[in-house]
Chain A
């Protein structure tokens, strides 16, 4: 099992450009989520999904879109990048059900918006 994979590992964008951060998991997990990590802020939830075709907003969804067409993939789209979106982005997945199910994190994507 590869677990949770994220691509790219690092990306530089110019303000206004768009891009998609890829996330895939091979554990057949129902739940997937995207977080961003800024210095001194911990991780904050952007969007999450409880299954294919079902997504919802988290704490900081503005400027980001998601879709979940398959169980395995959960891409995060930046429609028009802004310097405020410079951050480290983590994707995570877990099995459905009770709170004790551990979330498995991908290695992260470092994004710099100039």
Chain B
């Protein structure tokens, strides 16, 4: 079975600073994908970034990067140059070959960006 753990219920960061949101996972699958989603207060789920288990380089998407350490089973999200609009819930999720490739989510981290 897959398990995603996000140990930070809430985080604060000052505008323009970088912040790291932690995510660890557990799986026996060899092929899997790791995702980060953002959920603002409006409620929609916004895809941010993807990392494949066979990808050798860390994924980057604009100000988002994923620090993938396969041996440690961690997939931390790094947001550089935080903006006020980054205040939201952030979910780490894993996807494997079971359950129709549906996502298995962590409990999320609430990020607040302060001026």
Contacts and interface: CB of A to CB of B under 8 A. Distances in A.
Interface of A: 31, 33, 35, 40-45, 48-50, 56, 58, 88, 90, 92, 94, 96-105, 107-108
The main secondary structure of chain A at its interface with chain B is strand
A50 B103 CA distance: 13
A58 B101 contact: no
Interface residues of B, number: 27
B76 interface: no
Contacts of B99: 33, 45, 48, 56, 58
B102 to A, nearest CB: 4
A99 B105 contact: no
Contacts of B104: 45
Contact of A99 (B43, B47, B101, B107): B101
